[in-house]
Chains A and B, each alone.
Chain A
Amino acid sequence: MTKIKLLIHAEDGSFPHLSEYLLRKYFNPKDETIKDHFILGIAVKDTCIQPIYTAKESKKKRKRQESDGEEKKVAPKPTGYTFDTATLHEQTRLMEGYNTFAVPSFDLVDDAKVQMEKDASNRLKNPQKNSTKEGQKSIASVTSTKNHLSLITPNGLQQITPELYTQVGNKLKCDHLLALFDQANLEEGKKRKAAACERSKAWLGLCQKSHQSTTECKSKLWAAFSCHDSKWTLNDSIQYITEYKQSLEGIAIVGLHHVQSRAERKDLVKKISSSFNPKPALAMLAVPDLSQLFDAVECGTEIISTSLPVTWARSNKLFNVLKVKSEEVGSDGCIDLSDEKYARDTSPLLEGCQCMSCRDSRYNKAYVHHLIKANELLAQILLFGHNLFQLLTLFKEELSSDDLDLSKVRELYE
């Protein structure tokens, strides 16, 4: 029986939304389900970014301080940022015992798109600073050179070399480590795609070398397979990953969701898995919806990374209410609790659910609806707790079942 695992991004190295008190009670790493079906994704871009302080003082400041007579305690400002870390627990105080998977980022192109939107909205706010020309088509692009990748971090764009990345990744002591990779936007030209492929190849080599030379306890190394397009770079990628096959735990497919056609996506994964013998362990990063999640399971993916429980919670959605009132449920398997019709709905969030928000018929729909309307953070906490529990239940009870009939599961949701 394959135990399909859900990989959730631990934003800033923290379990999203839940305090240790709730984690111990409801998502304890010692629980069977958590052990078998849950992995926390640690992104180096937001977990390992550290400020640098260099003892530099401007003349002006020094003069001012001198004239003040007494020495004032001035809070230093970081002069730059770098990537460094201690072990994951020391660095973030994340509860110990979870399966963990360190990655540079879950999808570099998605990061670039978010950044571009942010920049655009900033430009709207400050039209004077608008430097891009009107009508100029811009593509969200990942910045990289032969020697480094520019990661989009909470402290801006920061360069990381494959050596530094592996060093930092090893220090985290996560169970799994994804090698540094480059990723081209599908809309970019052949040249950029070829360069990205070339860099991913070189960086995998460097990562593998530095990983091998580490004497301490090691994370299992994964290679990233960036999906640029179905023809152009595919064979090149397959070829270079095959070279390192022996030292790899598996292959993480990155950016598949950018490929628009479902058939093309399926083809691509089929080609990847059939090109290796024996079949490699597959992980799929940044799966955007349930349909693609089921496709991933169908292709034999073991680890599926998705931000669905968080995005559902942030958009007021309650997952897996299919068995209750199917007519209200959207195609994503959710109901939108911000809908006015739940204002007086005293029924529990989900009958029979044993999650932190539902068990002992704890909270009803009307209360969570009220929290949403009142813009209370507790709404997100309760919804996230429920959605994660339900998605894990789906992974454990249906997707990992021996007699899995995916078409039946699909029918329920689509």
Chain B
Amino acid sequence: METKVTWESRKRNREDGADDNLDDTKRAATDTNEEKAKVKSSTDVPTASQFIVPADQFLSLPPELQDVDFTKRVSWRKFAPYTKEVLPLTPEGQEPEFKEDSPALCFHVHATSGRARATTLHLPSSRKVQTPIFMPVGTKGTIKALTTEEICNDPALNCPIILGNTYHLALQPGTELVRDMGGLHKFMRWDRGILTDSGGFQMVSLLKLAEITEDGVEFENPFLKDSKERMMLRPEDSITHQNNIGSDIMMALDDVVSSVTDNDERFEIATYRTLRWLDRCYAAHTRPKEQNLFAIVQGGLDTKVGGLREKCLAGFRARDKMIPGYAIGGLAGGESKEDFWKVVNQCCKSLPDDKPRYLMGVGYPLDLVVCSALGVDMYDCVYPTRTARFGVALVPGEAPGTLRLKSNEFSEDTRVIMEGCECAACKGGYSRARLHTLLKRNNPLAATLMTNHNIAYMMYLVRGMRKAIMEDRYASYVKDFINDQFRGSANGGQDVPEWVRDALNEAGIKV
């Protein structure tokens, strides 16, 4: 009973929130110039007004989608196992060739194993990223508690790409400053790949008072609490910030709606708006030869034929020439795992096989193993690094695959976190008891060691996945992983969750 009340009240709140947004979107489109002038944009780049539509067209199908046959599944440039055609593979080590329609990314697929793939993203300045890959999150221009030297040169880490958050960098130190310092690579002394998000997600998730209008995301500047001055992040602003940061891969600003929102109309508006905003993002992008701009598939949890995900995908298909890579967005926001895998599955089945796929905000080891089986290449999540600082170590073996080292049960445990792990903590011989003590005392070294271990574990995981794909034995890799985590209730362990079974079944792997 109690859960129902909570759920309903939460739902009501969300509906209220969504309605507020609706009112605002309508208001923004009809507002007088005088009222608009109150909201200051964070950059001076003009809005590409040709892509703005009046409020009464928010729910109309965009013109480029009007001839699409939505009775059929949307997909393009698909190869085996999706179609009978065989995807031309590129051997590892082949030099990249940057083409005119993708001047900053050369994508090589080396091997497939079922739907899973091992690829290389060649980025400008000879940077390359081998997939499947997990990207640790370096929110404010640093992976917390580690030096760039360790992340590059420590063989257990050796991360080829990290993620920076546009929203945080725009607030501190400001992206103009980063630009003047020669870009984020130079500023933080990191000569490998950087991916930045658009900043929209943080505004919606962190700021209660953010409102989305046709123009952009309107929010209260948290650094100016007293003045009540409202700021605007338009697609143009997001791209300008990311151009300033100079990341190798930028993400388009999309209209993010929480995946658990119960308002179909809001989702439909968001989906069409995401397409219009993508056009505005590309129009504002000034460094296409150095930076890639990825599009983000939206559309809520609507995976049915002709549903919102398909509409978004069809919109991207129409724009495919200008898009070097795709991200799957709108997930990792509290939706059920059943809904989650279905969206990932559908996007992977639709998106072209000759471009990379990035699943945003996903980072539990189990999710990586399952979603790679469905065809995802790239992942990012704060979980491994954040949880490390709270004293949770990631380990293979029985679910949940974590050790809460702050717990007293480890105070006399003389084993290292994970036998055979090459990270600074395990290789250095730090026992669980020793880490327990350091964590309990808030010794800063504990954060360094734990972060080092968890990133090393994620890298160990993705390297193992890649190796299995290269050797075309990904199905057995997945089975081993799943059987290790879920040993079955008969053996005193947990059973394989239904969603994992279903998702893997869809990928042709029976567990």
Contacts and interface: CB of A to CB of B under 8 A. Distances in A.
Interface of A: 11-12, 14-22, 46, 51, 53, 73, 75-78, 91-93, 154, 343-344, 346, 356, 362-364, 366-367, 369-371, 373-374, 376-378, 380-382
Interface string B403-435: 000011101100000000000100011110010
A266 B402 CA distance: 57
B271 interface: no
Interface of B: 140-142, 144-147, 149-150, 153-154, 168, 172-173, 177, 180-181, 187-189, 407-409, 411-412, 424, 428-431, 434, 437-438, 440-441, 443-445, 447-449, 452
Given A75-B407, A76-B409, A367-B189, 10 more contacts: A12-B437, A12-B441, A14-B443, A20-B424, A92-B434, A93-B431, A154-B441, A371-B140, A378-B145, A381-B147
Given A21-B150, A370-B173, A346 B181 contact: yes
A373 B146 contact: no
Contact of A75 (B145, B177, B409, B440): B409
A376 B140 contact: yes
Contact of A77 (B187, B408, B441): B408
A26 to B, nearest CB: 10
A46 B441 CA distance: 10
Nearest to B180: A344
Given A73-B409, A92-B434, A93-B434, A378 B180 contact: no
Contacts of A53: 412
B430 to A, nearest CB: 5
A378 B411 contact: no
A12 B441 CA distance: 8
Nearest to A46: B441
A111 to B, nearest CB: 15
A380 B445 CA distance: 11
Nearest to A377: B145
A381 B154 CA distance: 17
A373 B408 contact: no
Contact of A378 (B146, B407, B408, B430): B146
B187 A367 contact: yes
A377 B173 contact: no
Contacts of B412: 51, 53
A374 B140 contact: yes
A371 B429 contact: no
The 5 A-B pairs at the shortest CB distance, nearest first, are namely A75-B409, A75-B408, A374-B140, A370-B173, A378-B142
B181 A17 contact: no
Given A17-B444, A76-B408, A12 B438 contact: yes
A371 B424 contact: no
Given A19-B448, A77-B408, A366 B441 contact: no
B41 to A, nearest CB: 23
11 contacts: A12-B437, A12-B441, A20-B424, A75-B409, A78-B411, A154-B440, A344-B177, A346-B181, A367-B141, A376-B140, A376-B142
A22 B150 contact: yes
Contact of A19 (B177, B181, B443, B445): B445
A104 to B, nearest CB: 18
Contacts of B150: 19, 21-22
A62 B430 CA distance: 34
A312 to B, nearest CB: 15
A362 B142 CA distance: 14
A90 B381 CA distance: 35
Contacts of A20: 424, 428
A370 B176 CA distance: 13
